[in-house]
Structure 1
Amino acid sequence: MPLLRLFCAALLVTALAAAPGGAQERPQPVVILTIDSERLFLESDFGQRVAAEIEARGNELATENRQIETELAREEQELTEQRAALSAEEFRPLADAFDARVQETRQTQAAKSRALGDQLEREREVFLAAAGPVLRDLMTDAGARVILERRTVFLSTDSSDVTAAAIARINAVLGATTPAPD
């Protein structure tokens, strides 16, 4: 008899484990969206405005660099011509002063170039902060729990990519203007 009870108990446990429970529901699939943040920024009206501004300032800097280069080349040529007429003691301070100007100019121009990169990064941060609520609404509307960077996803379908929809919504809300600080 104890063996029969053990067998029946084992059978009951197996049957209960295999049968769907009345209170149990099938787990809902987790909706995951992907977005290409680089494309989101660059193809948005905001990103295109920023890119145009950075490009214009970069072109101005390149023109300024060419003008400086021309001026320094002229000064170097004058210094080279003076060398024959000057003693080493007279020439050395002139050459050192010229080298110092060249180094200072390089540092100044490099700082301007870095400032452009810094401006781009700041604008990107402003954009992503302003885009956050729009992306959150998009995620909620899609019933998603997360948006992942498309470039870090190993495999996904194109239907999970909401970059185009996000660009359209962000353009409608933000446009090309810089949002006012909160």
Structure 2
Amino acid sequence: MGALFGALLCVAPPVQAQQDGGLSNLGVVQSLILTVAPDALYAQSDFGQRIVREIEADSVEIAAENRRIEAELTAEERELTELRDSLAPADFRARAEAFDEKVQRLRREQDEKARAVGQRSDDARRALLTAAQPILLQLMIESGAVAVLDRRSVLLSVESVDITDEAIQRVNAEFGAGAAILPLRP
């Protein structure tokens, strides 16, 4: 039985090499072309997960603020409606216009806050990819590759040329939650 086990050990590496086209060499992919999934790199990295939590917290805060503003505006509109019969038409018109301007201003301010939250996500993705470039370059060098392609733009490839999981591990080891990429919020 020991001889059979030893024989299997001798056969196993060539079988693996045949399965991935000879692309792995001691655990390091050997290929001229590698792929990475940028969305997964962001979403599964400690940094990306931190940013998602921050954005969710910001979104909850904006939603709560929107509800508070809506309640205040509803009360103010009700009050204005009740005053309509007791005010001179010119006074009512002036108050109504001021109220409309206030509503429009608050809407613009809240929309700008929501856009800023969305922009933070886009900025964080770009910052991560910029920070990860030396890691991706090192993976290229180790693999003997000449290019790393976005997996979304590759029609067909063997799974073994995808370095996303290794890139995530190295990004996490290098940057953790990414205070060096984007500062932590207070």
In 1, Cα distance between equivalents of 2:181 and 2:165? 25
Task: Give unpaired runs (5+ residues) of structure 2.
Answer: 1-29
In 2, Cα distance between equivalents of 1:44 and 1:131? 11
1:92 aligns with 2:93: yes
Tell me if structure 1 keeps the 8 A contact 2:31–2:161. no
In 2, Cα distance between equivalents of 1:134 and 1:78? 61
| Structure 2 match to 1:154 | 155
TM-score by length of 2: 0.77
In 1, Cα distance between equivalents of 2:158 and 2:71? 54
Deviation at 1:123, TM superposition (A): 2.0
Alignment-mate amino acid for residue 136 of structure 2? L
In 2, Cα distance between equivalents of 1:129 and 1:83? 59
In 2, Cα distance between equivalents of 1:98 and 1:89? 14
| Structure 2 match to 1:134 | 135
TM-score by length of 1: 0.79
Task: Give unpaired runs (5+ residues) of structure 1.
Answer: 1-28
Report which stretch shifted further, 148-157 or 172-181: 172-181
| Structure 1 match to 2:23 | none
SS at match of 1:111: helix
In 1, Cα distance between equivalents of 2:179 and 2:138? 20
Deviation at 1:177, TM superposition (A): 2.4
Tell me if structure 2 keeps the 8 A contact 1:130–1:179. no
Tell me if structure 2 keeps the 8 A contact 1:49–1:176. yes
Deviation at 1:87, TM superposition (A): 2.9
Tell me if structure 2 keeps the 8 A contact 1:35–1:163. yes
Note closer, same or farther for the CA distance 1:124–1:46 as it changes in structure 2 (3 Å cut): same
In 1, Cα distance between equivalents of 2:133 and 2:118? 23
Deviation at 1:81, TM superposition (A): 1.1
SS at match of 1:144: coil
SS at match of 1:41: helix
Moved over 6 A (4+): none
SS at match of 2:86: coil
Tell me if structure 1 keeps the 8 A contact 2:35–2:161. yes
Alignment-mate amino acid for residue 166 of structure 2? A
Identity, in percent, stands at: 46
| Structure 2 match to 1:101 | 102
Alignment RMSD: 1.7
In 2, Cα distance between equivalents of 1:175 and 1:64? 32
SS at match of 1:33: strand
In 1, Cα distance between equivalents of 2:80 and 2:181? 53
Report which stretch shifted further, 132-141 or 110-119: 110-119
Note closer, same or farther for the CA distance 1:30–1:165 as it changes in structure 2 (3 Å cut): closer
| Structure 2 match to 1:6 | none
Tell me if structure 1 keeps the 8 A contact 2:45–2:172. yes
State the structure with more CA Rg: 1
Cα distance per residue 1:78-129 (max 9 Å; x no partner): 1111112223212100000000000000011111111112222222222112
